[in-house]
């Protein structure tokens, strides 16, 4: 037990590493699945082959990202059972059923239709294939629904009771657990972030190929679609983020104190600290660049509205302020850059220069990974800001860990780091290689009649009009 503090730190690092690595892939697949559904739907509606060519271009990337997302997520259940066995025991009656629903609904839906989506283009009818694509997109949404419900319950627990064994159980209706106070805000904020992540990746790939050949119609099409998403969704995401922040202030005020860098209470209006260096030892933000009373205005809608600081909270309940402070600013800063790119694209489109301005294409290319960075920064803000709690206000992280020795946790951590960077690093490099290839007319449209077996020979299936000539 003397090794427990070290083991606890290593277990936290291990879970943070694996979950951060993992969530980058679903952040892409959630948006990319919907993008593929839109492309195929537009192809069916218009008959324009560029839509189908883009569908075939991106579905290869989707398949790889989806596979890496599934594989990288499997080990998290392993960690629940080994490093966080106490948490699993206490919270299992709540967490277990919700995770089971995710598997029984979302995963089965995705797995059932994924094969048709990937390999059935020339084997099933157009409408059936489009249905499969829609079901895969729906499956990614349902998966996000259940996972975010679990995480939100840990942030804002509701609808629970504690039995004689100290386990969290349902107090009645599961609706109170599923639709806990932070869940609706977290769901829409996360989904819109996933759509933006995909939009900026698609926009960067389109910009890359426009810089090489501005006349490529498929590169022009994907860039235009991505910039429409940036122009519409990025400002919306800022609004949704503000609503999520107000909800967090209501239910997790300590997290907001860390995000804002408010070590001290401000009874007559709190400043908005733009930049600075949090100094937890001294309880202040050094070299702070701030705007007087703006934090009170944005959070409480009054210039002189009082705001509490970390001085009202026991030190043992303080999150790591520096990490939360900077992660939040990275997320917000990237959000405004995304909105800026969207507005610039509207200006270029209005002037008929969307495909001509190389500086715009270079900006979009540089912003390609911005969605992934913003998503990661957002989750760091959310999860680190909740510390020292696993279940907010009810169960501490230190109480959740298994009584493991530090060397055992360290060995598995090293193994994860090596394997993840080797396997997924190779996968990412291959994806970048696919993205570097220009979208071209590489295949014809799928046939109207699906291929099917016909007696002892597939001849009739491959040439269904042959019988008519006999």
Spatial distance between the Cα atoms of 398 and 12, rounded to a whole number of angstroms: 10
Q: Are 67 and 13 in contact (CB under 8 A)?
A: no
More confident of the two residues 108 and 87: 87
Residues above pLDDT 70, as percent of the chain: 93
Query: What local confidence, expressed as pLDDT, does residue 462 receive?
Result: 45
Spatial distance between the Cα atoms of 142 and 110, rounded to a whole number of angstroms: 10
Token pair for 433? 């290689």
Instruction: Kindly report the pTM of this predicted structure.
Output: 0.87
Q: Per-residue confidence at 71, pLDDT binned at 50, 70, 90?
A: confident
pLDDT digits (tens, 9 = 90+) for 249-305: 999 999 999 999 999 999 888 899 899 999 988 888 899 899 988 888 888 888 888
Please name every residue paired with 279 in a beta bridge, in sequence order, or none if there are none.
Answer: 284
Closest CA to 360 of 201, 196, 204: 204
Tell me whether residue 389 is exposed, middle or buried, using C-beta atoms within 10 angstroms of its C-beta: 0 to 12, 13 to 18, 19 or more: buried
Query: What local confidence, expressed as pLDDT, does residue 442 receive?
Result: 57
**In the predicted model, is pLDDT for residue 450 greater than 50?**
no
Token pair for 231? 């122009």
- 353-368 mean pLDDT: 94
Q: Is 263 helix (H, G, I), strand (E, B) or coil?
A: coil
Spatial distance between the Cα atoms of 298 and 305, rounded to a whole number of angstroms: 10
439: left (phi over 0), alpha (psi -120 to 50) or beta: beta
Give the containing element (helix H, strand E) for 290: strand 284-291
Spatial distance between the Cα atoms of 358 and 342, rounded to a whole number of angstroms: 15
**In the predicted model, is pLDDT for residue 458 greater than 50?**
no
Query: What local confidence, expressed as pLDDT, does residue 124 receive?
Result: 84
pLDDT digits (tens, 9 = 90+) for 185-234: 999 999 999 999 999 999 999 999 999 988 889 999 999 999 999 999 99
- Tokens 């609904």, residue located: 105
Q: Per-residue confidence at 446, pLDDT binned at 50, 70, 90?
A: very low
Q: Are 408 and 375 in contact (CB under 8 A)?
A: no
Spatial distance between the Cα atoms of 182 and 27, rounded to a whole number of angstroms: 20
**In the predicted model, is pLDDT for residue 463 greater than 60?**
no
Tell me whether residue 8 is exposed, middle or buried, using C-beta atoms within 10 angstroms of its C-beta: 0 to 12, 13 to 18, 19 or more: buried
More confident of the two residues 5 and 98: 98
- 45-53 mean pLDDT: 90
Q: Per-residue confidence at 360, pLDDT binned at 50, 70, 90?
A: very high
Q: Are 254 and 310 in contact (CB under 8 A)?
A: yes
Least confident of 45-54, 59-68, 441-450: 441-450
pLDDT digits (tens, 9 = 90+) for 361-394: 999 999 999 999 999 999 999 999 999 999 999 9
**In the predicted model, is pLDDT for residue 163 greater than 60?**
yes
Token pair for 13? 């690092």
Q: Are 229 and 222 in contact (CB under 8 A)?
A: no
Q: Per-residue confidence at 134, pLDDT binned at 50, 70, 90?
A: very high
Q: Are 221 and 276 in contact (CB under 8 A)?
A: no
pLDDT digits (tens, 9 = 90+) for 405-433: 888 888 888 988 898 888 888 998 999 99
Spatial distance between the Cα atoms of 301 and 159, rounded to a whole number of angstroms: 31
């Amino acid at each position: 037990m003397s090794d427990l503090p070290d083991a606890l730190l290593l277990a936290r690092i291990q879970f943070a590493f694996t979950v951060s690595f993992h969530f980058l892939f679903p952040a892409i697949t959630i948006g990319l699945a919907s993008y593929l559904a839109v492309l195929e739907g537009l192809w069916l509606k218009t008959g324009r082959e560029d839509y189908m060519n883009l569908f075939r271009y991106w579905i290869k990337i989707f398949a790889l990202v989806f596979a890496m997302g599934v594989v990288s997520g499997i080990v998290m259940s392993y960690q629940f059972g080994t490093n966080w066995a106490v948490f699993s025991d206490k919270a299992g009656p709540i967490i277990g059923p919700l995770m089971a629903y995710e598997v029984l609904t979302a995963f089965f839906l995705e797995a059932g239709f994924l094969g048709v989506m990937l390999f059935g283009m020339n084997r099933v009818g157009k409408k059936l294939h489009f249905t499969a694509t829609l079901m895969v997109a729906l499956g990614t949404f349902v998966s996000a629904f259940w996972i975010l419900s679990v995480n939100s319950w840990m942030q804002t627990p509701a609808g629970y009771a504690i039995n004689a064994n100290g386990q969290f159980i349902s107090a009645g209706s599961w609706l109170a657990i599923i639709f806990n106070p932070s869940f609706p805000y977290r769901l829409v904020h996360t989904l819109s972030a996933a759509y933006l992540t995909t939009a900026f990746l698609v926009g960067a790939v389109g910009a890359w190929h426009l810089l090489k050949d501005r006349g490529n119609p498929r590169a022009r099409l994907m860039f235009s679609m991505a910039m429409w998403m940036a122009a519409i969704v990025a400002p919306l995401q800022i609004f949704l983020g503000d609503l999520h922040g107000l909800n967090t202030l209501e239910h997790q005020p300590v997290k907001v104190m860390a995000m804002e860098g408010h070590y001290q209470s401000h009874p007559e209006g709190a400043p908005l600290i733009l930049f600075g260096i949090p100094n937890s030892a001294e309880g202040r933000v050094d070299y702070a660049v701030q705007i007087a009373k703006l934090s009170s205005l944005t959070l409480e809608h009054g210039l002189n509205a009082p705001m509490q600081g970390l001085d009202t909270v026991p030190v043992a309940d303080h999150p790591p302020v520096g990490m939360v402070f900077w992660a939040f600013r990275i997320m917000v800063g990237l959000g405004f850059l995304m909105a800026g790119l969207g507005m610039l694209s509207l200006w270029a489109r209005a002037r008929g220069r969307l495909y001509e301005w190389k500086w715009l294409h270079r900006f979009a290319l540089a912003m390609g990974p911005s969605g992934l960075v913003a998503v990661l920064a957002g989750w760091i803000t959310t999860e680190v800001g909740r510390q020292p709690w696993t279940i907010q206000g009810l169960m501490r992280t230190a109480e959740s860990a298994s009584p493991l020795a530090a060397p055992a946790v360290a060995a598995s951590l090293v193994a994860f780091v090596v394997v993840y960077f080797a396997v997924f690093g190779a996968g990412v490099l291959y994806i970048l290689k696919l993205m570097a290839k220009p979208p071209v007319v590489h295949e014809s449209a799928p046939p109207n009649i699906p291929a099917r077996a016909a007696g002892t020979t597939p001849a009739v299936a491959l040439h269904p009009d042959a019988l008519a000539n006999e």
